[in-house]
Structure 1
Amino acid sequence: MSRASWVSAHRWAGLTMASFLVIVGLTGSVLAFRDDLDLWLNPDLLTVAPREAPMLDPLTLRDQALRFYPDAKIDEAPLHMNRRRSYELRVWIKDDGATDRLLFLYLDPYTGARIGERAWDHDVLGTRGVLFFIYRLHYALAAPAPFGALGRYTLGVIALIWTVDCFVAFFLTLPPARRANGSGKSWWRRWGPAWLIKSTGGFYRFNFDVHRASGLWAWGMLLVFAWSGVMFNLDEVYTPVTRTLFGASNDVVAIGSPGTRLGEPRLSWPEARDRGRSLMAELAIRERVEINGEQALIHDRERGLYDYVVRSSNDIGEQAQTTVAFDAIDGSLRVSSLPSTEQDLVGDKLSRWLRALHTANVFGLPYRIFVSFLGVLVAMFSVTGVYIWWKKRAARVLHARSVTRRGVVLGQSLHS
């Protein structure tokens, strides 16, 4: 393909992505501080006054929630608790529609009293639900439940186009091959201006330099966020590509006994926690890792398993990734997931790092600030790219009109 063809491909890819990248860039900028903002907006819901009394057992609090909603499904019990925070549970309520309604219930961890609740898909403009709306907008264009998959798939396709366009855009910054009668500058000196933003030359030139130079300086992280977007929303592309290029060991989905799939577990929740602790202790001894605290106990109805999740010394960043999954009927171990072991292939490490980098769960506050800034930068790339296209289009239209006008004048003079 000629350079002009690559320019055209970059132009149309940018125009296709522009509105979507503005949305995901700005919403991602906010979501880098999602927990802090939620705590600021809803302190009455998310915080409690610390006291000397012991907190209740997390599974006791789950039982208390079931007393408030006896017909609901509560398939996840957080095991990590904070003396200054309310205890949050995800409650699936029977709804008249095709899918159950997700409700977030908040309990006092010391007494089990109900502090409040909020729905995942309601109160869009209020303090209770605005961050939920921003999150839904970021990963699924806030599409209503029947069309949520379409929203996620659309953003997955956009992320794939973005990934490819990262390489096209990088190629277009490279200087063209030197002509025989060209200047004597080296290749590196001819590429150098692409990294700079000139303060002279008018607004269009400044806009063009910002678009190109900022893209070069941030290129690596832009690729990270583009490809991780494919990982989150277009797994049918991400997994085969990652497995082919880098290998991945987690390609077997564990399934429990048929009798418990989609039904209630035979192991009670306290029994499952005890079994998870036992299996995790064996894993920690075998792999020589340190367990830094329990995170969650999850009943996966579709697979017929319990997942017991902890934080370990092998985890990347702030996200708990060490897990044992065991049968919900007999407690037999089905699969374990421990980062940074000999079984981890390059593809496994890549996926974990992409997830941590995309969700800003690594490197603390400085990285979250960087991710927030990068989100604004992504939106800016889209705006500047559209402006460049619009100015070039206006120039082409003006030139075409000028040529047409000269042709009319010449025709009239020939016939006069």
Structure 2
Amino acid sequence: MGTRSLWVGLHRYVGLALAGFLIIAGVTGSLLAWNDELEAFVSPQLFRVAAPSPDARRLDPLVIRERLQAAYPHALALRVPLAQEPGRALLFMLRSAPGGAHRTAQALPNDQVFVDPYTGRVLGERKWGDLSQGMKNLMPFIYRLHYSLALGVVGTIGFGIVALLWTIDCFVGAYLTLPAKSHRTHRMAATRRRRPWLVRWWPAWTLRRSGGYRLNVDLHRAGGLWTWAMLFVLAWSSVAFNLPQVYEPAMKAAFAHQPGLESLPRLAVPRPEPALAWADALSSARRLMAQQAHEHGFEVHAEKALIYDPVRGLYRYDVRSSRDVRSPGGNTRMAMDGASGAFKGLWLPTGAASGDTIKTWLTNLHMASMWGWPMKLFLCVLGLVVTVLSVTGVVIWERKRRARGSASTTRHMRRARAL
């Protein structure tokens, strides 16, 4: 078996193994490109609000958090959304409170609460991803399918392995589109060599005027070539999301990275309530972030969230800065002590370390969280391209399998007649 035949076999059988997974990922990914819009369309009662009057003012998010904490004493409201979009409700996430020395934490019936920012009224709740609650969890369930086949940790790792194989297969598939060495007569081979190599490769990028099986082959090959760069981005970023135990060592071996805020030490015993009041923490966070912006040469454009981490006893302050590529939202992060308000660390999405810059671009391209609706439309179409490539690959394999079976039957019949 020649080298090319070996790669053909690898591409064929890896593609067959991945086809079902990639069809699910492609279809769900096309929907998730419009996640915010579809969430608001499916559940307007949770996501959409109207100002009670033209001059109505929104409540302070910290005040809303205090009210929620009082209304849900068996839960912890540890994240305060600071970005307020016109016409959108505020989303607060809850987590189980510690159960005490001899009791385990109780599971919450719901872990997301939607609040009217003008009145503080609770619009509704849901257990994220629990489809038994009805249509309000449709998009979260689609996300679970996309990320893990809704199978939890096992599905997450499984999809990570699929993404790793897909990444490798991106390069194998591209190699197989290159012009093969000619095995024809010397005169014909010499004629082919006189043609520029790119000219000989160009047919692989085109759809010829033919239908049926030939069209399947052209769609599979040309579709993969024209979208190859973004297919690789989707594949490798999926490894980053689902299989960090592979992605991180590989990327850290080649590129510089900042220490992540998760590397900060944990407390011996978690501290559910911060010693520093939330209002004081936000004031300190704004001041410290302004200092960091001045020292590191970036601008703060908008606040995103203030979060308390009881495991480390830290506040985290997230903003959108000039180092972000994500919009809206942002991933510029700062940590400070939950008791003293002392600065503990800063993480910048771009410009500080090449490895972090690469990951920021990979993950934000994957989630269509930049460049507005044109990028969402592009990712939506790309998800359908992934589906088409998977389906056409299976069709090509099935056609060749039947052809091999027919050829084998013909050979047996000829041998039988010769006896």
Residue pairs, 1:191-270, within 5 angstroms: 191-200=201-210, 202-250=211-259, 253-256=262-265, 258=267, 261=270, 263-270=272-279
Runs of 4+ residues deviating >3 angstroms: 93-102, 123-126, 178-181, 250-254, 259-263
Residue pairs, 1:106-121, within 5 angstroms: 106-121=114-129
Cα distance change of structure 1 residues 100 and 125 upon mapping to structure 2, 3 Å threshold? closer
Q: Is residue 357 of structure 1 aligned with residue 357 of structure 2? A: no
Residue pairs, 1:341-356, within 5 angstroms: 341=351, 344-356=352-364
Aligned partner of 1:128 in structure 2 is 136
TM-score, normalization by structure 2: 0.91
Aligned partner of 1:57 in structure 2 is 60
Distance 1:18 1:46 in 2: 35
Cα distance change of structure 1 residues 234 and 172 upon mapping to structure 2, 3 Å threshold? same
- The Cα RMSD (Å) is 2.1
Distance 1:324 1:251 in 2: 10
**AA at the equivalent of 1:152:** T
**AA at the equivalent of 1:107:** V
Q: Identity of paired residues, percent?
A: 39
Cα deviation per residue 1:96-134 (whole Å; 9 max; x = unaligned)? 998655521111212211111122132358331111110
Aligned partner of 2:79 in structure 1 is 76
Q: Is residue 20 of structure 1 aligned with residue 21 of structure 2? A: yes
Residue pairs, 1:291-330, within 5 angstroms: 291-318=300-327, 319-330=329-340
Aligned-pair distance for 1:404? 1.5
Does the 8 Å CA contact 2:261/2:347 hold for their aligned counterparts? no
Does the 8 Å CA contact 2:260/2:347 hold for their aligned counterparts? no
Does the 8 Å CA contact 2:167/2:235 hold for their aligned counterparts? yes
Bigger Cα displacement from structure 2, 323-332 vs 212-221: 323-332
Q: Mind listing any 5+ residue stretches in structure 2 that lack a counterpart?
A: none
**AA at the equivalent of 2:223:** S
Cα distance change of structure 1 residues 352 and 27 upon mapping to structure 2, 3 Å threshold? same
Q: Mind listing any 5+ residue stretches in structure 1 that lack a counterpart?
A: 412-416
Aligned partner of 2:401 in structure 1 is 393
TM-score, normalization by structure 1: 0.92
**AA at the equivalent of 1:21:** L
Does the 8 Å CA contact 1:254/1:303 hold for their aligned counterparts? no
Aligned-pair distance for 1:93? 4.8
Distance 1:124 1:210 in 2: 39
Q: Is residue 159 of structure 1 aligned with residue 163 of structure 2? A: yes
Aligned pairs, how many? 404
Does the 8 Å CA contact 2:81/2:92 hold for their aligned counterparts? yes
Distance 2:201 2:402 in 1: 28
Aligned-pair distance for 1:335? 1.1
Aligned partner of 1:339 in structure 2 is 349
Aligned partner of 1:48 in structure 2 is 49
**AA at the equivalent of 2:29:** G
Q: Is residue 3 of structure 1 aligned with residue 4 of structure 2? A: yes
Distance 2:84 2:357 in 1: 29
